[in-house]
Amino acid sequence: MVETARQFLGRDDVDSVEAILADDSIDFGDLVHPTPARGEAIFTWDYERSRPGLAKLYEKAKTSQWNGSTDLDWSTPVDPERVALEMAPAAAMFQQRMAELPGSPVARWGPKEWTQFQVEALNWRMSQFLHGEQGALICTAKIVATTPWIDAKYYAATQVMDEARHVEVFSRYLDTKLEGHYPVNPALQLLIDDIIGDSRWDMTYMGMQIMVEGLALAAFGFMHHVTEEPLLKKLLRYVMADEARHVAFGVLSLQEYYAGLGAAELRERQEFAFEAALRMRDRLMMHRVWETMGVDRRTVTEFLLGMRRMRNNPFQAALFSKIVPNCKKLGLLDAGDGWLRDRFTDIGVIQFEDAADTGEEYESFDEVAKDRAAG
């Protein structure tokens, strides 16, 4: 059980259906969403290149740039339904379990409904990738300003360019290859707003590079593994090569910084990580997709929480397969009395603690160099 001494996400109970529904109905605007950015822009007069790990990553980033308009073949014809159905086998076990439970809102669904669900889920997923990429673009620009280290400012500047390219290619894929966009998921945007609104410079890394990008890397990896659509496959392969560097940037920077923090400060980081994980759990409920399919939000929220969802859905839990080992590598899992370990056990994702972390993974992800070498 979650402690009651401190509220998480401002909720008395993190599993409160009312609280989840309240967050879920927040309007983030039709055209723009202004949110306060906090923190100080730090000028450093120490131009010494004293962080070889970051310097190496920066060199790698400079030679791994690619061009979203010329390195991808946008003339490739795409059948959205076919792409959507490629995701179906992984979700089948969860769907079957969901259909069999008493009172299930999907008990009567046949192949036609599940196909439509997959098409909507693909549109939703790709839309959230797009919005998340914009979050990364803005967060990384913030890191350029707020990090006190020159090597980190250099590296973060390359990530700003990477994220602009990611927004560009996801937007183009949604506009020209799929049939349907979704607005940002409120749980995702609330998390991004929290990250931008936090004045502590390391929290931008923690929220974006470790949590949001850790989840994205796992999700891209899954989609890349199952899809046969050549444009999407190459797009994801290239984006993942960049994302692996981004997560490594977070791990390298925070390992150094967290080694110097005391127990109370580490606890604050653990709590931030836990709240971010809850936001992502709420996000993965995909309320708007269920609504499009005629299942109301309250029904699906109660239903999914009742299933102890992630524990019963290995496909969803696997999205935490990068986050948990990276938290372990940062010392956050076991700091203090192992507080975060207990929380991750509670939400059913601790089994990934020894999965490959992302500290050095980017070395094996150099897609641009591989393709150039292959001509």
Chain residues binding Fe ion by CB under 5 A are 133, 136, 163, 166, 213, 243, 246
Encoded tokens for 345 = 């056990």
Encoded tokens for 158 = 């390359």
β-bridge mates for residue 177, sequence order: none
The CB-of-371 to Fe ion minimum distance in angstroms stands at: 19
- Chain mean position to CA 279: 10
Contact 210, 195 (CB under 8 A): no
Closest CB to Fe ion among residues 94, 222: 222
Closest CB to Fe ion among residues 151, 163: 163
The CB-of-137 to Fe ion minimum distance in angstroms stands at: 8
Nearest C-alpha neighbor of 295 from the set 158, 146, 113: 113
Rounded to the nearest 5°, which phi and psi values hold at 9? 55, 25
The CB-of-218 to Fe ion minimum distance in angstroms stands at: 13
Closest CB to Fe ion among residues 163, 275: 163
Closest CB to Fe ion among residues 133, 202: 133
The CB-of-25 to Fe ion minimum distance in angstroms stands at: 28
Nearest C-alpha neighbor of 254 from the set 197, 213, 297, 301: 213
The CB-of-101 to Fe ion minimum distance in angstroms stands at: 36
- Number of Cβ within 10 Å of residue 171's Cβ equals 18
The CB-of-327 to Fe ion minimum distance in angstroms stands at: 18
Closest CB to Fe ion among residues 244, 300: 244
Nearest C-alpha neighbor of 290 from the set 38, 153, 116, 128: 116
Nearest C-alpha neighbor of 134 from the set 104, 105, 168: 168
| Residues shown for the chain | 375
Encoded tokens for 230 = 């050549």
Nearest C-alpha neighbor of 323 from the set 346, 357, 374: 357
Please, what sign has the CA dihedral across residues 364, 365, 368, 370?
positive
Closest CB to Fe ion among residues 118, 326: 326
Closest CB to Fe ion among residues 139, 350: 139
β-bridge mates for residue 11, sequence order: 8
Encoded tokens for 205 = 């890394």
Closest CB to Fe ion among residues 184, 285: 184
The CB-of-312 to Fe ion minimum distance in angstroms stands at: 30
β-bridge mates for residue 8, sequence order: 11
The CB-of-239 to Fe ion minimum distance in angstroms stands at: 6
Q: Cα separation of 246 and 189, whole Å?
A: 20
